[in-house]
Amino acid sequence: MDSTTATVTVITSITGLIGVITGLASVWFTYLNYSRDNVRVRVKAIKGMKTFIPGKRGSSKESFLVITAANAGRRPVIINKAAFVNLKSRGAGISSSSMMMGAQELKEGKAVDYMIEEEGIDYSDVSHVSVYDSVGNEYRYYLTPWYIRFFYWFLDITYIRRKRLQAPKQTSKKK
C-alpha cells in the first residue's frame, strides 16, 4: 500500500465520521425543535394571597388561593377551567373566576391567574390543583407530598374506601 492510498483511506474515514456526527446532531436539534412545538402548560398555586387596595391601610381580610396557568410551548392553548381536587373525600372545587372569565387563549409565553377564596378550603384534604384546556387535557400542580397521595391511591385500589354501588329500587305499579 502506497502513501496516497493510505491518505485517501484516512480522509474518507474522517469525512464519514464528520458526516455521522453532523447527521446525529441535526436529528437531535430537529427533535428539540419538534418538542418545543407541542403544547406545554405550567401550573403553579400560591396559598394565602391577599388583595391590596391602594388608598386604604393594609390589605383585605380575605385570603385567596391563586392558580396560575402559563403556556410554556409555542402553540396556543385555550384554558377553560381551574379547580382543586380533594384527596380524602375525592371531591373537587372549581374556581368561580374561571367560570366567569370563560375560555382564555394563552399564546406563547402568556399566563392567566384564577382566584379561589380560602375560607372553606382544608389544605390537609387538597391533593392538587388542576387546569383544564378545551380539548380536555388536565395539567396538575401537586400540593400534597407523593407518599400521602400514594397512601390514598393504595386505599382506593384495594377497595378499602370504595363504596359499593347499589342498583336503584324499581317501583312496580300494579293495575
Is 24 inside a domain boundary? no
pLDDT in tens, 58-116: 777 888 999 999 998 888 999 999 999 888 877 788 888 888 888 999 998 899 999 98
Query: Residue 5: how many CB atoms within 10 A of its CB?
Result: 9
pLDDT in tens, 158-175: 766 665 555 556 666 655
Q: How is residue 175 written as a grid cell? A: 293495575
Residues 80 and 107 sit within 8 Å (Cβ to Cβ): no
What CATH number corresponds to the domain at position 67? 2.60.40
- State pTM to two decimals: 0.70
> What pLDDT, on a 0 to 100 scale, did the predictor assign at position 73?
85
Is 65 inside a domain boundary? yes
Compute the C-alpha angle 127/124/160, nearest 5°: 70
Is 16 inside a domain boundary? no
Query: From residue 74, how far is each of 38, 57, 108 by CA, in Å?
Result: 7, 42, 5
Tell me the backbone φ, ψ of residue 156, rounded to 5 degrees. Answer: -70, -45
Is 17 inside a domain boundary? no
Of 125, 85, 79, 121, which Cα lies nearest the Cα of 102? 79
Instruction: Kindly tell me the burial class for residue 142, based on how many C-beta atoms sit within 10 Å of its own C-beta (0-12, 13-18, 19 or more).
Output: middle
Is 64 inside a domain boundary? yes
pLDDT band for 55, please (50, 70, 90 cuts).
confident
Count of domains observed in the chain: 1
- Look up the domain containing 149 and give its range: 41-157
Is 27 inside a domain boundary? no
- Would the pLDDT of 31 be above 60? yes
pLDDT in tens, 125-160: 888 999 999 988 999 999 999 999 898 888 877 766
